[in-house]
Structure 1
Amino acid sequence: MTTIEEFVRGERLNAVVGWMAVLTCLLVVGLELRAGETLVPVFALGCVVAVVLPAVVRRDPSAMLPWELLVVLVGFLLARAASVAVPLSGYGVVAALALAVAVDVDVLTPVDMTPWFSVGFVTVTTMAIAALWGITQYAIDAVAGTTHLASNADLMWDLLAATVVGVAAGVTFEAYLRRVGRLAAPEPTAPSDDTARQDRVPLSASRLRYVVRGMQATLLAVTVYGVATVDLAVVSNAGIALGVTFVPTVVGRRYGRSVSAGLALWITAAAFLHAIGLLGPYGSVGWYDQVTHTLSASLVAGVGYAIVRAVDHWSTDVTFTPAFRVVCVVLFVLAAGVCWELVEFGAGGAASLLGHEAVLVQYGLRDTVLDLVFDAVGALAVALWGISYFDGVADLISASLRASK
């Protein structure tokens, strides 16, 4: 099985291209700093560091990334420096740089990544960096009185550009791997003792089931009310939320294993608060949206952790350290947050075109930025303190992966 580290090449011609790329990046740094720019030089210096690190670590000047990646990286950097197709060129640099970072992480740390995993890593990282950059721009505008982000639409189009570039980069990289014959399926590991570990107290045996059933009954009543009043927004949101609350029950019946009462309450509360928020609290209670987003993001973080941990246990060709899992969880949640904001933005645009009430609503630039901030807060909270609740979910995913082979 090929690991991502094997993409560090030692051929002389490839090394020449690599060092030419480094010199080009340094030239961009000098010219942009002279012109008073700060963002592009930061990108360029990041490219320099990512490109030369393998050579430094291996103490071999010929240890460079593949020339194809270097050409793409420098091409996007030059386009961004020339202000061509901004922000697509900027996020193109981010996507190419994310792949270079994946190689460096594999070379410099105990983490072992495979090419197929790095495809998703590149896409998620590009989207997450777009979210962080949007938060940074908003903060700069608030402090310095600038207008890097004039409206919520500006931010949403940036996030859409990052998503398109990230997905395109992942698809292109996969095609490249298949062309050179280096993309292979991961080898599953033998079942571990973790799959036999029982979850905490199941919902059926806990008093928390009354709280869960109460929220489900309320969501059912709201759904019926939406049907009676022919309110599509209420029906869709409450109905979907109600369906989400039954996920623990479906999982238990499908796999013959109960989901813990704490996790079931977590899932139900997140769905309940979101559905109820659309009835008024989102617009009238200032902190309600942030609390709901933090809770929802924590669930997404748990799912992201479970996926990463399951892949780690399933494949013999990947090794993830606890610190890397935390990074993956945060990136995964931010990328999921970007997807959600784009869905809301698209729903609003579609409703305007059709003349209907929007099923999902955005409340402006500040609301979107705060959503992304609290997405990150929820992700960090789970990554640092709450991942044990999702160990059972990770075991179920790992068992399903093995069964699919």
Structure 2
Amino acid sequence: MSSLSGVIDDERVNAALSWGIVALVAYAAIESTLTGELLWAGLAAVTGALAALPPIRAREARTMVSWEVLALAAVPLVGRSLGVVTQAATYLAVATLALLIAVEIDSFSSAAMTPRFAIAFVVANTMAVASVWTIAQFASDALVGTSSLPGQTRLMWDLVLATAVGLGAGLLFELYFRRYGGPDRDERSRGESA
């Protein structure tokens, strides 16, 4: 193990980096609200709230999800706030929100996920969140007069691509699971399924 990975694995350092990323997500939520991008503001607010949920429940500021997962979730949100907007940012934002949910369930609850189930969970959650995102865009277009939805064919391709990005996020979760799951967690999973 290199000296840098030892520092990063330190709980205090992880918490400091994670809270810094939560602050960036809060910035993205505020900036999106001020510029009238309410869907992005809502997505950033939900991401920040999910990131803050474990320390609030545990009443311990150091009980944070890994900074790497939060950084991945923050990239599309902060990138959009800085003007780096691509269609892939939407897919990545949706997939990383599902990934964040899966990591928090696996890390901070008694539920143990096998890698296959974790991938399926992240993909299914990505598809669900992408569908809710589409419904929110439709509601925004109908009620506020925005023009978020590009058309039916494009919408279907957006959902297909969001699913593909969800599969990629699921594979990332499997790598995360292998890195942080450890042998004792694997044994616990086998013991509970027996």
Letter in 2 for 1:49: A
- C-alpha distance in 1, partners of 2:150/2:103? 37
SS in 2 for 1:187: helix
- SS of 1:62's partner is coil
* Distance in 2 between residues matched to 1:126 and 1:22, nearest whole Å: 21
**Deviation at residue 11 of structure 1 after TM alignment:** 0.5
Q: Which has the higher contact order (CA 8 A, sep 6+)?
A: 2
Letter in 2 for 1:88: A
Change over 3 Å in CA distance of 1:42–1:66 after alignment to 2? same
Is contact 1:127–1:166 with CA below 8 Å preserved after alignment?
Answer: yes
How far is 1:188 from its partner?
Answer: 7.0
In the aligned structure 2, how far is the partner of 1:45 from the partner of 1:115?
A: 29
Instruction: State the match for 2:32 in structure 1.
Output: 32
Shift of the 150–19 alpha-carbon distance from structure 1 to 2, 3 Å rule, reads: closer
- The answer to whether residue 111 in structure 2 is matched with residue 112 in structure 1 is yes
The structure with the greater share of residues assigned to helix is 2
- What is the root-mean-square deviation of aligned Cα atoms in Å? 2.8
Q: Residue 180 of structure 1: CA displacement?
A: 4.8
> How many Å separate the matches in 2 of 1:14 and 1:151?
43
Bigger Cα Rg? 1
Partner of 1:149: 149
Name the aligned partner's letter for residue 172 of structure 2: T
- Secondary structure of the structure 2 residue equivalent to 1:114: coil
User: Across the two proteins, how many residue pairs are aligned to each other?
Assistant: 182
Are 2:98 and 2:125, in contact at CA under 8 Å, matched by a contact in 1?
A: yes
The 3 A distance-change label for structure 1 pair 113 and 57 is same
Note the C-alpha offset of 1:107: 7.1
Q: 1:41 to 1:188 in 2, by over 3 A?
A: same
**1:139 and 1:78 mapped to 2: Cα distance?**
24
User: C-alpha distance in 1, partners of 2:28/2:132?
Assistant: 24
TM-score (norm 1): 0.40
Q: Give the C-alpha shift of residue 106 in structure 1.
A: 5.7
Structure 2: 5+ residue stretches without partners: 1-8
Q: Give unmatched runs, 5+ long, in structure 1.
A: 1-8, 190-314, 317-405
Determine the structure 2 residue equivalent to 1:54. 54
Letter matched to residue 112 of structure 1:
A
1:187 pairs, out of 176, 185, 190, with 190
- For 1:140 and 1:180, the matched residues in 2 are separated by 40
